[in-house]
Each structure stands twice: as structure tokens, then as C-alpha cells.
Structure 1
């Protein structure tokens, strides 16, 4: 680190030096392979809003990404572009360009006025595309690139006798150019002895911005890249601190946690109206928003301990959610704190978790336990064997009163017990909430037993589960793993374990505060460097936390398959089989 090799004569400056070089213990890491990622729908929306303002809308959704190693964001580096996707991109670009040049917006979105609206104006076109192109391309355009855009705008304007029509068509082309739709990471340095290269300033600016803000870099970040500020430790720290203090951090962290928690599943969520007639589309949307508001308030506004998200009684309430929570309805969104004796403590007890991880007509301890393992602890629940017999579960003469009685069938079957022992004991603690998320103490007239166990820690109810999760060392380490994977654009590898342990240790020292771990990751050498891409075997490409955490933290009596994550076919089988419980 450049600032760490300068000598200072005074004690005060030496202390400052040591504080500024806190990352000196960072283990050596060659960095990630350089990524080429397709921009997501929300990243595109956020970028367009940053460039043109919120008055320009886009009612369009790009094709979904494939969830890879726990994150949709990781799938962005694996996504291709088909003719159908190009059509979707083009429709969005056409709509945006038309809105930008519309008479009611052109005067403040285009920084100049043509001498004659019916003719081409090279100077005005150059001014517009120079500014807009810099923000959309996430770098300054070369004279050749800028010249091509200006020429295209002038040619179209002359043919159509309309300056703004020329700008519109050219802007549409810019909005679907590969430089805009793909996030490409490059380096202009020679590799070091390990084959690592430092990202060039523009690539680092994009990596920082899409990670922290879920959008392309703004003028401040691009100016820092152009001025060389991102090339020095002091300059980079200043920019990162400004980004962490920006309101846009909320957008970035909303996107991250929505991805990490698998909230894209809300898009297909439905409940049986005969069982849960009060659960509507508005209920589902507000349940998702409630959790996002809780996360933003707890981690960004108040900067509290990440682990306390799973024990906090503080949240937000809306009129659509009040009936589910069995409290008086409010006007709009309001802050709400559950009583001390309430079972509603932590994210696991919010409707977003217990309703999303349930069946259309009933609860599911298996789905909930699996979500806890995979989403929050980064552990993979292996798929069930292909010859599982569900006859006992579907037997109409069995008369199971509670879900605990139903899943006990699996726990008694050696072929099923291996998986269900790592999902059901904690999922059963959430049985005090039905399939829509309402609190209950009985099921079919029988008192619900909510006792359970998580990695050797026993508890009596869902409040105890939240405390056990709070104290589980896999919880913060999983967040660190997901953050690093999300920010760098690909799953961490087993060779990254020392780096992830370093990040986690720094996270602990900082009181598990989210902004601090974001600062640690973004200021680390590993985040700023890329290495030559190389072929890796299946074991090397696995996500490290999925491979090791179950082994380290589960009781030794539990048998867990730590093979590579299920492929697409296995995932389908696992989902359909677990739907039985």
C-alpha cells in the first residue's frame, strides 16, 4: 500500500498511518477473473434515473437471470444475449429516448438548444452525447466514438428535418450498445508475479458503483477515476466514504438483500384464496417492502449490529399488513415496535419469510429450514434420493394434526433423515406462523410444539431460534461471503477462504456494522485486482461456505452431503420433493 511505506516523524502522524493501513494484514489473494456481466433490470433503471432523472420512466423488465451459487447477481456473468433479449432492450431504449427529447423534457435534459430545430446541429449534438455518453458508457468517450454518435445524429436530423429526431434515434442506439448493456472489466497494468492486475480506474469505478449503489458511477465517481483519485489509497478511501454516505447506498443494499434473501420468489408467490382469503397481491408487496425498510433502517440509518436483525422487535407497518399481524391498521407506512413478550422478533418472524417459505395452503417447516440454511448460513441442503416414498405422508388415514407429526415420518426414515435433520428442527420453531404468516398456537386443535435445535443449540420457541441464529458464527461469515461474491460478480472459491476469514474478522472488530464491512471489502487489494482466467475443476469452483460451514458447525452425529451444489435437474427434484412438507 503506497501510504503504508511513507515514514512520518511524529507519533500523531504514525498513529494516523497505522489507522490508515488497517488492511496491512490482508492475506495475499490474486483477485477475481475479469468479469463481463450483463446489466440487470434494476441497474439499468437506476442508471437511467441517475442520468435523466426520475421523470423518465421505464415499464420494462429484462429476462430473469439464473441464480448461481446463491445469488442472481452471479448469473449476470453467465448470461448471454438472444434476439428476444435484444428486442426487450430495444423497446426500453426506444421509450427512454422518446421521453428524453419530448418537448416537456428536452429543455432541461438536453444542455443546449439547436440553432434550427429542423436542421442538424453538430455542436449541440456533441455537447449532449459527450455528457450523456460518459455516464452511460461509464467512462469518457474517445473522440472517434463521440464523432460517430454526432455523425449519426446529424445524418438522421438531415433526413428527417428534425434535430431532436436525430438525437432520439442516436440515443436509442447508444442505450442498447454493448458498452452500456455489459459491464466489462479491464486492466491497463502489467501483471505482477502472481499474474494479478489492478483494475483500471474506470473498471474499478464501475465495480464500486454497481456494488454499493446498484447503478453506474455518477459524475463524482467518474471524475475521481479521471483525476487518478482511485489510484491512491487516500483518494480511494475518500471516494468510498462519500459513496457509503450517499442516499444511493440504500438502493444498493436493497438490491443486495433482495437477491440474498431470494425475494425474486415473490414474483410467483400465491396463496390459496379459500384458506387465506386476506392474503392479496398488496399483502405480498408490502411484506417484501417491510423487510427492506427494516434492513435499511437497522443497518444503514442506525448502523446497528447485523446479527440483531434476527432478534429486533423494531420494524415498519402498513395498512395491508396490519390484519396479518393482528394489530390496528395504520395510515401509510409507520414505525412499529412489537412488545417485549411478542413472538415477533427478527426477520424470521416477518411475513416475508414465513409466508414466502410455505405452501399455497399450509406452512412448511422444511422449506423454512432450508431457506434458513441456504439463504442465511450459506449451506447447501442436498437433494432427496430419487426413490423417496411419499405414501406415508399422503396417506388419508394418517390423520396428522400438526406439521411436526408429518415431518416426523421423514425423520424416522433413514433415506430422508439426513436432509431433514438439518432443516426441520429449526423450521418447526416457525410453526407458530401459518402459511400466510399469521401467529397461531394451535393447528387442527392440537397445541403446536415450537421447540427445536440449530447446530447443537436447543430452544423452546421462535424467539430462541432468533437468538441461536444471532450467535451462530456462520451468520456473519455467510453475509461476508455473499457480499464479496456480489461485489466482485462471481462466487468465491475455496482458495478465497483466508480472505473471507479476514473480512469476517474485520467485520467482528467493527461490531458487525454493515458500512464497515463494505468499506473493508472495497478498500481491500483483492477487490481491486483481477487475475488471468484459468480453468478450475468442480471442487475449486464451489462456493466455500456451502462446502465447509455445515461440516464445521453441525453436530458430529448429523450426516451432511457436502457435494457440489445441485445442478438444474437436481434443483427441480429437490423443490418438488420438499414441497411435500
Structure 2
């Protein structure tokens, strides 16, 4: 393989950071150095290879590998310059193009080409799982292939495979074997499995006697599939498949035992990376790019750390079966060195995430997470409106109505009175003078302003535009509110609203559809039962898994366009 590294240019096409002298980049595979590349400080985009350096061909075995490319530290301390830019930043690429200002080169992209000169097939974990047998003679190939195809198809289709289905797949094996031997035949059969609608879609088998519109109970294999995709976002494992084949999974006690087992598995992290990410809208982080001039220390690594912090909070609540209310009250979180420094926390070093206690009550729970605070901001300013709207929609399940037409945006509101810059609160007060805006903003703004001590990147601040920040306010019902801790207390005074919102979102995720009016009795019962057990998240999950909505389906009319398998 060849590893290709592209570097950042300055505006004139030269290497950004050329004034800092010679630099070297180490390329490593699984922590072991495989190449050390020295940069030509005079390279430019006009060169035949541009701002790209590449390694010679490097032998790497097939399979998962950890690849890194990192600059070698050349100096232990800062460089004394006429002007000292902010360390390790691309906030202003116009700097560092002349002597007197020292900036550092930056790696922009790492790409890998290959493989070249393949010497053979490595025995990877994937191949070991596929080839459960090895024929030693020609007459052993078909029985061995049938065993492999049956096993893979059963896992891929998430149910016991029937003999006639295996016969169909063996046709593809025979074609491939004639073309290139046993392994090519297995490859052809796997292609057929992976292109089958039974793999691509989660098709549930309707009993023949069920009429269109009639409700029926899922059989055990389909229940296993639903359960696995809900908790793991993956097909069922061998234990679930065996229970389903024996018809034992639909037993309430066994189903409950499996839920607890599955929540302890690493694969249950999908509830954080998929459900929580969708519910909390963490994907919106990608849309926010803080202004590099205003927030020069912010970078992609910090953004990813914020995202990971929120996922780890939710995953820990699942793994340790904690109360869902800890999403708001947790006096602990997970940080790496960069995120800890951003939050002002001491004693954390390295890139590994560690669990830390939070003494500052304003930083506790989701309302203190940089991910939430940043995705509800603009790139150059905080947005109490977006933050208030997010709390209402995501945590309280009460989205405000859309703004009326022809209402000016906050950007169109004056920013100063000539002698000083206004704070965001003051600009909102001017904006609310419009009667069309007042009815909604009196509900949204106090919630968002309670979080205004957090800047765009979630860092704590006490001033904005040299003016003291006022995070106090009054909710629509007259309740006083002040700061993030005050907002959290207000939400927890009515915990039923938060419980029901989470329950509705979790059930919608499990069922893969919107929640309807006829689902509400199940949600209320789930919420009541979980409340008797300390709001532990497992009881919300069990309430969904044991519900008729999860364990039953409805017959659909079959047309000529509908597959019969």
C-alpha cells in the first residue's frame, strides 16, 4: 500500500508554515513506524506533485489496521517571534507567509492506495468466520459449501433457512466453482445472499391464514430480529437464533432475561450512537462551524470529542441501568484532555476518555454538554431562540409554532447604540417589540437565555461584548429561572413531561414508525411502571419490548409487485 499525505496551503499556494523550518511526519501501522517523511519547506501547489508527500510501497497484511500520521515534535517550547500566533491553528492562513511569524504545517488529508503486488490471501477474522470448513478433496466441496452457505444465509436472513432456499443459493456456488474454484463459488453465493431482498429489507413472514388488516403475533425469529435491531442495530446473535428456533424467545421471562443480557453487550452502544444521536440531533453538529477568528482554539477533534461525550453519557446510563433523569442531573461526564481543558477541568491528559466528577452544577447533564450548546448556536454567536426551541422540542416534546411570515431575523436587528455593542438578550428584547413575535418569544427566550453563559462552543463566559451576561428570566407561567442549574430544576419539577418525551422517542425508534394516539396507553403504562423502579432505563425498554405494538404486526394485502419471500 502507498500512504499519500496532502498538506494545507497558504493563500499564495506555498506550504502553510514554511517559516517554521524542517518538519517530519511519521506514518505508523498499529503503533509501529513504517515511514518517516521529511517535508520540503519550499514545496508548493505548482509543483508536479503539489503539496503531497507519499510513502514507498509498504507491506500490510489484510484485515483491520490502525493507521496514524503525526508530525514529530521538533521543539519543546514556544518560539519567540515579532508576532506570536495562536498555537496549532489555521484561524488565519494569511499568517506565517513571511519571517517574524512562525506557524506550523498542517496535514489536510490522508489517503491510501493499493493493494499493489498482492502476494496472497491473508487469513483475516472475516475469512475465519466464513470458512467454517475446508474441503480436502473434490467430493467434499459441495457438502462443505452447503454448510457454509446455510450458516451465512441463516444469519443474513435472520431466520432458519429452508432446504429449497439453500438449493437456490447453491446454484450460484456451482457457477462460481466452474469459473474459478471453491472460494470463487463461495464468493458468488455470498453475493447472492447480500443482494437478496431478505437481507436488504427486514421482511417479516405473515402466516398464510392471516387476512389483510388482521393483527397477528410475530413468530420467534421475527421477534428476535426486531429485538436485535432495536437494541443492537444488528442481526440477532447465535443465542437469540437458537432460542427463536426452539420457540422460547416469546416467553415473557426469557424475553426479559435476553433484554438484560443484550443491554450489557458492547453492541448496545448503538442505543447511544443511533437512538440518542437521532433524538438529541447530534448529527446537526456537522452543520455548525464556529468562526475561526472568534474561536481559534476550536477544531474538528474538539467537535468529535463533544459528540463522543454525549454518546458516552447515554451509553453509561444504559450499561449501568441508571435513571433516565440522570441525562439532566448527572454530576459526572466523560472527557479527554482537550475537552477537559475546554471545560476548565484539571487532571486529565491524553486522548482517551475518562470519567470525571463535575463540581460545577451548571455543567451537569445534557444542558452542560458542548455538543448540545454548539448545535443550538450560530457560527458567530449564541442563539437563545435555537436553544429554547431545542429544549421545548427535544426534552419537553412541545415544539413552538413556526414564525409568522415576513418577520425580520435577529441579524437584521441593530447591534449597537453607537456607544456600545448590545448583548444577545438586548437584541432579542428589541426583536420582541414586534407584536407578531411576542407570543412565541415570551415562551422560548427565557429558556434559551438561561443557557447564555455558555458561548458558541459551550465554554463558560460571564461577559458578552464587554457587557455582563444576565441569564435570569421568567417562564410563561411566571416561574423564575436563572442559569443552567435553574433551568434543570424547572424541568425536573415536572418530570412526567421529560419521561413521556423520552418514552415516545424510544418507542418510535424501536417500532420504526411515528407514535399514534393508540400507542399512548402503552406509553403511560410504561412511564408509570418505570417510575416505580427509579426510572431505570431498562424498564422503559422492557415496557416497549413487551408491548403488543412491538410483538405484533398487521397483515398487508399482497399484490403482484410484493415479493412472496
Normalised TM-score (structure 2): 0.72
Tell me the secondary structure at the aligned position of residue 197 of structure 1: strand
Where do residues 381-530 of structure 1 align in structure 2 (5 Å cutoff)?
A: 381-390=400-409, 393-395=412-414, 398=417, 400-453=421-474, 456=477, 457-472=479-494, 473-530=496-553
User: What CA distance in whole angstroms lies between the structure 1 residues aligned with 2:272 and 2:241?
Assistant: 21
Structure-1 separation of matches of 2:466 and 2:64: 55
Q: Paired residue for 1:31?
A: none
1:181 aligns with 2:204: no
1:221 match: 240
Q: Does 1:303 align with 2:321?
A: yes
TM-aligned CA deviation for residue 168 of structure 1: 1.9
Query: Secondary structure, in 3 states, of the residue corresponding to 2:550?
Result: helix
Aligned match for 2:170, one of 132, 135, 150: 150
Does structure 1 retain, via aligned residues, the 8 Å contact 2:177–2:184?
A: yes
Match of 2:249 in 1: 230
Match of 1:315 in 2: 333
- Contact 2:395–2:501 under 8 Å retained in 1: yes
Name the SS for the 1:465 alignment partner: helix
Select the residue among 282, 285, 293 that pairs with 1:263: 282
CA contact (8 A) 2:382 2:452 kept: yes
| RCO higher in structure (CA 8 A, sep ≥6) | 1
- Return the offset for 1:194: 9.2
Q: Distance in 2 between matches of 1:532 and 1:159?
A: 43
The answer (yes or no) to whether the contact 1:129–1:146 under 8 Å persists in 2 is yes
Partner of 2:563: none
CA distance in 1, matches of 2:410, 2:305: 38
Aligned counterparts of 1:248 and 1:455: Cα–Cα separation in 2: 43
Task: Pick which of 446-455 and 268-277 moved more.
Answer: 446-455
Pick aligned residue for 2:342 from 324, 327, 345: 324
Between Structure 1 and Structure 2, the one with more helix by share is 1
C-alpha distance in 2, partners of 1:416/1:187?
A: 52
Worse overlay, 242-251 or 436-445:
242-251
SS at match of 1:229: coil
Q: CA 1:238–1:305 in structure 2 vs 1: closer, same or farther (change >3 Å)? A: closer
Shift in CA distance, 327/107, structure 1 to aligned 2, threshold 3 Å: closer
Match of residue 104 from structure 2: none
Shift of 1:109: 3.5
2:386 equivalent in structure 1? 367
Give the corresponding residue for 1:289. 308
Q: Shift in Å at residue 324 of structure 1?
A: 1.4
Larger displacement relative to structure 2 (466-475 or 312-321): 466-475
Q: Is the 8 A contact 1:154 1:166 kept in 2?
A: yes
Residues 303 and 371, structure 2, Cα contact 8 Å, conserved in 1: yes
CA distance in 1, matches of 2:355, 2:259: 30
What is the aligned residue count? 439
Aligned to 1:210: 229
Task: Report which stretch shifted further, 219-228 or 376-385.
Answer: 376-385
Deviates more, 1:164-173 or 1:123-132: 164-173
Residue by residue over 1:402-461, the C-alpha shift from the partner in whole angstroms, topping out at 9 and shown as x without a partner, is 111122233332212233233211110110000011100111111111113456342221
- Residue 432 of structure 1: SS of its match in structure 2? coil
Look up the match of 1:126.
146
User: Could you tell me which residue of structure 2 aligns to residue 36 of structure 1?
Assistant: none
* Cα distance in 2, alignment partners of residues 261 and 173 from structure 1: 38
How big is each residue's C-alpha offset from its partner over 1:373-410, in whole Å with a ceiling of 9 and x where there is no partner?
A: 11112222222112213488343555652111122233
* Alpha-carbon distance between aligned partners in 2 of 1:315 and 1:241, rounded to the nearest angstrom: 24
For residues 489 and 362 of structure 1, what CA distance do their matches in structure 2 show?
Answer: 36
| Structure 2 counterpart SS, 1:530 | strand
Q: Check conservation: 1:400, 1:406, Cα contact below 8 A.
A: no
- Per mean C-alpha deviation after superposition, the further-off stretch among 421-430 and 165-174 is 165-174
Which structure 2 segments of 5+ residues have no match? 1-61, 68-114, 558-565
| 2:74 corresponds to | none
2: CA distance, partners of 1:386 / 1:120: 74
Distance 2:534 2:464 in 1: 40
Give yes or no for contact 2:413–2:427 (8 Å, CA) kept in 1. no
Unaligned 5+ runs, structure 1 = 1-53, 60-94, 535-581
What whole-Å deviation, never above 9, does each CA across 1:24-64 have from its counterpart, x for those lacking one?
xxxxxxxxxxxxxxxxxxxxxxxxxxxxxx9569x9xxxxx
CA contact (8 A) 2:175 2:185 kept: yes
> Kindly tell me: are residues 358 and 225 of structure 1, through their superposed partners in 2, closer, same or farther at Cα, counting changes over 3 Å?
same
- Aligned 8 A contact 1:310 1:467 in 2: no
Question: What is the alpha-carbon distance in structure 2 between the residues aligned to residue 418 and residue 229 of structure 1?
Answer: 56
Question: What RMSD in Å do the two structures reach over aligned CA positions?
Answer: 3.0
Deviations 1:178-233 (A, max 9, x none): 21121123332856999421112222111111111111111111111111113333
**What is the distance in 2 between the residues matched to 1:350 and 1:479?**
18
Query: What is the aligned counterpart of 1:196 among 205, 210, 215?
Result: 215
- Counterpart among 257, 261, 271 of residue 242 in structure 1: 261
Tell me, yes or no, if the aligned pair for 1:120 and 1:163 is still in contact at 8 Å: no
Q: Distance in 2 between matches of 1:391 and 1:355?
A: 18
Residue 342 and residue 483 in structure 1: after superposition, are their counterparts in 2 closer, same or farther (change >3 A)? closer
Match in the other structure for 1:338: 358
Higher Rg of the two aligned structures = 2
Deviation at residue 327 of structure 1 after TM alignment: 2.7
